[in-house]
Amino acid sequence: FKIVTDCGFLSLMKTGRPYYHLPSAETASCDAWAVFFNIQRCITKMLQEHTGALSFTTNAWTSPNHKAYMAVTVHFKNKGVPVAMLLDIIELVCSHSGLNLAAVFVKILEYFGIDDKV
């Protein structure tokens, strides 16, 4: 969020609207987190109320800086339209063993309150 304090970014933003006041990095961060948690609540409610099938895909990888991650995506149909939503990307602090990956997967399902749908 510190991009809002970058001289080049400020110059670019002032080109079209020179009197526009950009928010601080702290304000941008707070606003982004508020939107994130609001959308996450909406997604949680939608998934909990969904009566059809939920399918999941996972992907695990190690970044060039040797950090391991796992992503979980949910797939379902909403009024006949296929939908895919990224539920989470988590840094794995342990090995990529099946037990560890399963534990992270279950934790994500529990967080969204949909562990009973699998």
Question: Is pLDDT at 74 greater than 90 in this prediction?
Answer: yes
Domain ranges of the chain: 1-49, 51-118
CB count in 10 Å sphere of residue 104: 20
Identify residue 42 by its one-letter amino acid code. C
Token reading at 68: 């391991």
User: Per residue, what are the HEC states of 18-35?
Assistant: CCCCCCCHHHHHHHHHHH
- Tens-digit pLDDT profile for residues 91-105: 998 877 889 999 999
Give dist(CA 69, CA 63) in Å, integer: 8
- Tens-digit pLDDT profile for residues 44-60: 999 999 999 999 999 99
- Tens-digit pLDDT profile for residues 79-89: 999 999 999 99
Look at the block and give the residue holding tokens 């909403």: 78
